[in-house]
Structure 1
């Protein structure tokens, strides 16, 4: 069985080896990576990884009128690694599949859900947890504080990526879900969430987030590390978003994702350290990784010479962990007539 992951990257060399080692341990058999306009040596790392048989690397240089990720996905649609796959899963570098059944591989997940034609891997947001300085350390070991399983707001916390059977039911890849459905095949769709529950037909065509107010986990979750250290978030804003040309990586983005309510180390039960060590030990990859780390430190120092970046940095330092809203408070957002009365108000 061939399970292909599609990854789009720019200036992510410092995080690449951990991501690849984890997902090979998790059972991804093929990886198609599209890079654009890299300055930190990510593209050189990908060339070396392709030579070692770890992935296939395509360049996706700008300009990208629709955003670099959409341009990359259009390339991926046509690539044999996607066309010949049994299952396909587009992912980002800050997303880690966390299977919690069997041997914690995607094959075990599929065995537990034999009727599924698509599985929604819902984000579990992992917050900043007070980490300010970027350090060359595994993301999954550094950031272990997460959102609770049940949230009532924001809905963006329950966005999902879709592991989809590549049987022709959908003709195009999408960022969160497959696109261009074949109308004749929709009746046979069997979508399930990360808890194994069958999802209604509304998910077959348009939904990109799970229902708030109940846990979408149990068999699998998608650990999402959108913030990282404060220093890393500035570099993320500097890099820009893959889909939205207008950026949007501001304090509001930070607040909606900085949940550090509960500890969750479950992903560490899948041990990818030997694979990671073998990649770092490579005579070419090791130095390229260290150069990417040095680039991040240097780029942060450059950004901090400008007042606007210093201002954002200070705002993030002042912003505490995000408070989980009670159901009544969340409902007051989409049902304004309800109102919220808090003690002492």
Structure 2
């Protein structure tokens, strides 16, 4: 056991750093081993977001983590317990067993169990656990299931003592399902619940009672979780993931040097060779920028400043930094460090589409059914529309748009897998394409139906204007297939247009035949449905065919106010019969008035085709 520092000086000067809650004791529970360089930031951060208490178990510390926690306990800011590990038991289960019996836990009203490399980020409008619980309790909720966001190194190699949440601001895309592990903030009652690292479990004796019916959990966006999650599961799925209220930022790797430090001390659960290059590839995800944690930065920094005013903590903190920096200085002079550094840098270039997480155990329906309680079976027997939520927004757009919804961030360099799709190499880029579209790209099936049939739709149309063209993929395909055809690809999303222009150049598509523009259809001074920009495209480019790639960009009421006299054909791609019927109802009356008739035989190939009546 580490030697305790004797209580030094006045400890009352930091009591104001703790908060109280109308919801009672809101407790963070964690397990640590050799986290001294990061400890004060982690504690300050979680005081800042609004936990009323913090409890940390430690085992086998050699860097002063336990001593720092003991001092924090003396200051009344957290609680430290030694994780006494029985033979044959791993540290995490051991700590959870101790916590289950710990009075501080048993008297807590709300509990969240999470790790030292995880930082709760509260995106709820209040930016506080308190405000989030206010809204959760107002819905009658007894838990919030918070999904990971996986943060990578951001290309940082060297050690720095700067705050983790400020150094590392690049992460995996929010809809990357390999990063959807969860942690659960829940209303705790030791009578009914057994603690778990990802989520608690209902004690067996209560499974056949009415207690499960009283459990109401929300996802990280404040929407109801499906009933199955009361009983099993530790990951979000397409129908349950959400980040509007909260996300659990998971900084598993940090910089190359910080990763080396982590390898020095091993991991809290004693997994052999956990921190290898494959683990780095999995966790070093830097595809998008996410600075959400910075909403807590000012308050966290103020608390950190106050903590460091304590002479004992100050000495312990900077001694820990000195030790780790000295050890790194020595390690950097070795061949092992050079090998580690080169290996990790290479591993960080593995495209996200090639990452293989540890596969889940195969589901055995018979075994699961045998273990299910009566209550769980009753829940599973409900009609599917009652027990399942809709797939979350962004996985695949309802209108068939294949791109990421919202702002598209293509900053930063990331490893990409390139796959030929209909004669054009496309990157499986999660910053640009929706998850469903990424799957299609990898299988060489991106926009498959439209790419196969577009030539027939545009026969005898040498000049084509597409509105809502995205990256201009259909335009690239047509220019490569058709000698002399000129195609203008318009989209109001400037990043997509730039991306498409670069892809076309890479594919050697002639720039004088495929023209890109992000110019607006509607100018600021236009009256409703005027669309002067569209009128200019029609008048200046003089297309023979108009393809409406995204109907929301060019609704029928805008088309009704345009001079379409020069057009001989209008094409509207669809993804279902229902969408075809909806578009037909919207566009057919307008186009009929403009002298167009639908060719009913063409809809079966994936697009509505309206020809100018002869």
TM-score w.r.t. structure 2 length?
0.52
2:286 is aligned to 260
Shift of 1:91: 1.4
Residues 54-203 of structure 1 aligned to structure 2 (within 5 Å): 54-61=77-84, 65-114=88-137, 115-152=140-177, 154=178, 157-168=179-190, 170-181=192-203, 182-183=206-207, 184=209, 185-203=211-229
Structure 2, unmatched stretches of 5+, are 1-23, 354-427, 429-434, 447-506, 508-614
Residues 149, 80 of structure 1: alpha-carbon distance in 2 compared, 3 angstrom cutoff: same
The equivalent of 2:369 in structure 1 is none
Deviation, structure 1 residue 340: 2.4
Structure 1 residue 160, shift from structure 2 partner? 0.7
Q: How does 1:235-250 map to 2 (within 5 A)?
A: 235-243=261-269, 245-250=271-276
Structure 1 residues 294-305: aligned runs within 5 Å: 294-303=322-331
- Secondary structure at the aligned position of 1:113 is classed as helix
Aligned to 1:273: 301
In structure 2, do the counterparts of structure 1 residues 342 and 186 end up closer, same or farther at CA, with 3 Å as the change threshold? same
Equivalent residue number for residue 8 of structure 1? 31
Task: Work out whether residues 106 and 190 of structure 2, in 8 Å CA contact, stay in contact via their aligned partners in 1.
Answer: no
Shift of 1:312: 2.6
Task: State whether residues 36 and 317 of structure 2, in contact with CA within 8 Å, keep that contact through their aligned partners in structure 1.
Answer: yes
Q: Show the counterpart of 1:335.
A: none
Q: Distance in 2 between matches of 1:242 and 1:91?
A: 12
Rg larger in structure? 2
Structure 1: unaligned runs, 5 residues or longer: 333-337
Query: CA–CA distance in 1 between the matches of 2:316 and 2:145?
Result: 35
What's 1:38 paired with? Answer: 61
Query: Structure 1: how far apart are the matches of 2:294 and 2:121?
Result: 9
Residue deviations 1:23-64, cap 9 Å, x none? 111110111111111111111111111110011111125576
Q: Deviations over 1:235-266 (max 9, x none)?
A: 22232222353242211111111111222222
Equivalent in the alignment of 2:351: 323
Is the partner of 2:144 in helix, strand or coil?
strand
Distance in 2, matches of 1:312 and 1:230, equals 8
Preserved contact between residue 170 and residue 178 of structure 1 (Cα < 8 Å): no
Give the deviation of 1:311 after TM superposition.
2.5
Moved more, 258-267 or 279-288: 258-267
Aligned to 1:272, what secondary structure does the other structure show?
Answer: helix
Cα shift readout 1:7-34 (whole Å, capped 9, x = no counterpart): 1111111111111111111110111111
RMSD: 2.5
Match of 2:443 among 335, 340, 344: 340
Shift of residue 304 of structure 1? 5.0
Q: Secondary structure at the match of 1:164?
A: strand
Measured after TM superposition, the shift of residue 186 of structure 1 is 1.2
Please give the alpha-carbon distance, in whole angstroms, between the structure 1 residues aligned to 2:248 and 2:89.
26
Going from structure 1 to structure 2, the CA distance change for 1:64 and 1:298 (only over 3 Å counts) comes to: farther
Q: Structure 2: how far apart are the matches of 1:289 and 1:56? A: 18
- Tell me if the contact between 2:28 and 2:54 (Cα under 8 Å) persists in the aligned partners: yes
Equivalent-residue separation in structure 2 for 1:19 and 1:238 (angstroms):
20
Distance 1:170-1:254 versus aligned 2 partners, 3 A rule: farther
Q: What's the counterpart of residue 285 of structure 1?
A: 313
Aligned CA distance change for structure 1 residues 241 and 233 (closer, same or farther; 3 Å): same
| 2-structure distance, mates of 1:229, 1:63 | 34
The farther-off stretch of 21-30 and 161-170 is: 161-170
Distance 1:319 1:72 in 2: 33
Normalised to the residue count of structure 1, the TM-score between the two structures is: 0.89
Query: Shift in Å at residue 221 of structure 1?
Result: 0.7
Deviations along 1:93-132, one digit per CA (max 9) or x if unpaired, are 1111111123211111111112221211111111100111
Q: Which has the higher contact order (CA 8 A, sep 6+)?
A: 1
Which stretch of structure 1 is more off in the superposition, 199-208 or 44-53? 199-208
1:51 aligns with 2:77: no
| Aligned-residue offset at 1:215 | 4.9
Q: Please state whether the residue corresponding to 1:291 is helix, strand or coil.
A: helix
Whether the 8 Å contact between 2:226 and 2:240 is mirrored in structure 1 is: no
Residue 167 of structure 1 aligns to a residue whose secondary structure is coil
Q: CA deviation at 1:339?
A: 7.2
Task: Using the TM superposition, give the Cα deviation of residue 202 of structure 1 relative to its aligned residue in structure 2, in angstroms.
Answer: 1.8
